[in-house]
Structure 1
Amino acid sequence: MGSSELINRRHEIESQPESDNEYYPKPSKSFIAVSRPLRYLLREERLVFVVVGMVIATVFFFLIPPSTQNLEKDFGATPTLHPMVRQVHRDREAVFGGGMFVGKVPLGLKRKPMRIVVTGGAGFVGSHLVDRLMARGDSVIVVDNFFTGRKENLMHHFGNPNFELIRHDVVEPLLLEVDQIYHLACPASPVHYKFNPVKTIKTNVVGTLNMLGLAKRVGARFLLTSTSEVYGDPLQHPQVETYWGNVNPIGVRSCYDEGKRTAETLAMDYHRGANVEVRIARIFNTYGPRMCIDDGRVVSNFVAQALRNEPMTVYGDGKQTRSFQFVSDLVEGLMRLMEGEHVGPFNLGNPGEFTMLELAKVVQETIDPNAKISFKANTEDDPHKRKPDITKAKELLGWEPTVSLTKGLPLMVTDFRTRIFGDHDAPSTNTKTKTKAKTNNVVRSN
């Protein structure tokens, strides 16, 4: 009976009219959904900790003014901001949003390492660029066919997990996942690019086309190392980037000169037509350690000849002029160009101008005051004057060379002396002859 009474009693309660519901109140679902998070926050003073955390975050990121003086001290900021400073600002905006000087970067926040490919990275300039990128903490992939590059230039990076070396010719397509591409692959000295002119122009055109295609596929920024040779035998002095040049399209140097001019055209077409981020550098005469010995370039020729007690060969009357920049200055310019916001082209060179006879005298003073000079007929299409106007690089990149010829040349001489003579400071005649023959064989085999 008790059971039936309970059942009947519940039936009576449920059957009562809605007006009597005030005696049997039921909380609404919406109230329950709202009250549970509130009860959770109010329990154990959780709300207090949330509010305190928000206040601390607000004070740290928005109320503490940034110190632009420290930025200027660390990066050398000027009214035209240093590219590294702009990169810091971009990184900070990506993380925190807002304008350039909103908030403060946490102490532990560093620049994100990038994956970078350097074509021709085993060569003279390329290996020094790789050193800088590795020191900065990036992962570097070197692509080189070793026509003029040397593994010895990169051996100190072997075993580093952030370094890769691929034997590959850029004339053939290559698939990689990278953030930036420094395209340096191409023989740059007359001895090498005249050795196989068809191969040289294919490297400049087809190789550049392949690397631009890679940049388009993976969304990488692309830097082309062009040359002052695009100005040919200039009728304008000094040369500015807006000068179109005076180039012989069918001469013995055209494979290099016109090849680089075409490479610039391809880069700009990919930039305008495919939205590829490109940068173009026009490199003037560069010297330093790791240059190829006997490569036909005037500085390496003079140094090698003076070290071997041979007459330094001056072509023509020796009054033609060149400008010489140390390799570390060039690498700094290339990196600033890559990290900056300007396409270019930019002249990267030292505006200090020397005649060939003046250069020979500097080499004499550095190596041997008694070194002799011999004269030979000038080579075909050899430019009479070459001097960069670097106003654009100064204003937009904050770059200019800092190493003078008298400071940089001894560093190159030390490297050449070691590579030519090994540990011997004064080799015998037989040793000199063997060394010269060995060097010539190396050049031919490359």
Structure 2
Amino acid sequence: MANNASNGDHKSSKPPPTPSPLRNSKFSQSNMRILVTGGAGFIGSHLVDKLMENEKNEVIVADNYFTGSKDNIRKWIGHPRFELIRHDVTEPLLVEVDQIYHLACPASPIFYKHNPVKTIKTNVIGTLNMLGLAKRVGARILLTSTSEVYGDPLVHPQPESYWGNVNPIGVRSCYDEGKRVAETLMFDYHRQHGIEIRIARIFNTYGPRMNIDDGRVVSNFIAQALRDEPLTVQAPGTQTRSFCYVSDMVDGLVRLMEGENTGPINIGNPGEFTMIELAETVKELINPKIEIKMVENTPDDPRQRKPDITNAKKMLGWEPKIKLRDGLPLMEADFRLRLGVAKKL
């Protein structure tokens, strides 16, 4: 049963902290200085592209390249409005900024299970460090939380008011519970110190620049199809996911940051597909000759995942535009280029 929580329209009773006087002085540039942690990653790099389109923005990326890559942001290196810092958010960072998009965290099960302690440190200590920075310089901070905070949901689709059904001691808990704690920290800093916060609960996202072997289902299926390998569907194959194309996701994040609502707000595509349906679609679009093979499932794999985006529509004027069948070929082209697999005539 759903419990009452924030409806995404929380307003602070405390005034926000005073911004750094440097930002308002005659020596200050008129540009908005924006920090993106995890900006060399999949979603982060697309967000950087979007922010750099605005000539009034200066963008600073902080990334330790655990899952990100310089290749994703190479085109901006050397640009006068862009700065790249090799940095791990579990260590403090001292920069003067107006906004912080805090994306830094492994988001793929392969990566966060590989080093679960590092994952929860990134979620907890990293978020504490970014909140400390936001407090010091008077910046607004947006956290990319996750649909994983809902766990294996007993409510479908999932509204922001649902408190979730999460295993606190499972192999995925470093990510699920880490993000839940990160949300707690965001609201505690907001209530106690008046920090301007925004929380996005992002659902499955896909598109160019995803790590090819990161263990997430869309990238797995496309890579397997291009390599003429069977598409491995985890049993029973009836579990569902909703897939949002990365440009739609980035648009939602920017709208949330620029809007007046703290969140949490779900950002995702409510189009729901079973894993079998996804595999059949990839097979049809990319490689009709391959087979679909059922394999053993992983522990704590959610059976259903679909966002209720009522709040995103109402408060942000946002909803996804790109359908799965239109987005998959764009991702296929990127994977073909990186894998060196030419399209068969």
CA distance in 1, matches of 2:281, 2:246: 18
Please, which runs of 5 or more residues in structure 1 have no aligned partner? 1-111, 427-446
Matched, 1:144 2:70: no
Matched, 1:113 2:113: no
Partner of residue 174 from structure 1, selected from 82, 85, 93 = 93
Measured against aligned partners, the alpha-carbon deviations of 1:291-336 in whole angstroms (never above 9, x if no partner) come to: 0011010000000000000001000110000000000000000000
The higher radius of gyration belongs to 1
Q: Which residue of 2 aligns with 1:365?
A: 284
Measured against aligned partners, the alpha-carbon deviations of 1:70-120 in whole angstroms (never above 9, x if no partner) come to: xxxxxxxxxxxxxxxxxxxxxxxxxxxxxxxxxxxxxxxxxx530000000
Q: CA deviation at 1:371?
A: 1.8
TM-score with structure 2 setting the length: 0.90
Matched to 2:39, the amino acid is: G
Measured against aligned partners, the alpha-carbon deviations of 1:2-52 in whole angstroms (never above 9, x if no partner) come to: xxxxxxxxxxxxxxxxxxxxxxxxxxxxxxxxxxxxxxxxxxxxxxxxxxx
Q: Which residue of 1 aligns with 2:22?
A: none
Q: CA deviation at 1:240?
A: 0.2
SS at match of 2:36: strand
CA distance in 2, matches of 1:168, 1:362: 39
Q: Which residue of 1 aligns with 2:250?
A: 331
Q: Which residue of 1 aligns with 2:155?
A: 236
CA distance in 2, matches of 1:345, 1:317: 31
Paired residues, what number?
314
Matched to 2:116, the amino acid is: P
Partner of residue 273 from structure 1, selected from 192, 195, 214 = 192
Partner of residue 165 from structure 2, selected from 239, 246, 254 = 246
Identity of matched residues, %: 72
Matched, 1:203 2:122: yes
SS at match of 1:118: strand
CA RMSD of aligned residues (A): 0.8
Partner of residue 335 from structure 2, selected from 402, 407, 416 = 416
Q: Pick the structure with more strand per residue.
A: 2
Q: Pick the structure with more helix per residue.
A: 1
Partner of residue 319 from structure 2, selected from 400, 408, 413 = 400
Q: CA deviation at 1:365?
A: 1.6
CA distance in 2, matches of 1:194, 1:416: 24
CA distance in 2, matches of 1:367, 1:399: 30
Q: CA deviation at 1:425?
A: 4.5
Please, which runs of 5 or more residues in structure 2 have no aligned partner? 1-29
Partner of residue 385 from structure 1, selected from 296, 304, 315 = 304
Matched, 1:154 2:73: yes
SS at match of 2:85: strand
CA distance in 2, matches of 1:278, 1:371: 47
Q: Which residue of 2 aligns with 1:89?
A: none
Give the ranges of 4+ consecutive aligned residues of structure 1 lying more than 2 Å apart after TM superposition.
none
Q: Which residue of 1 aligns with 2:46?
A: 128
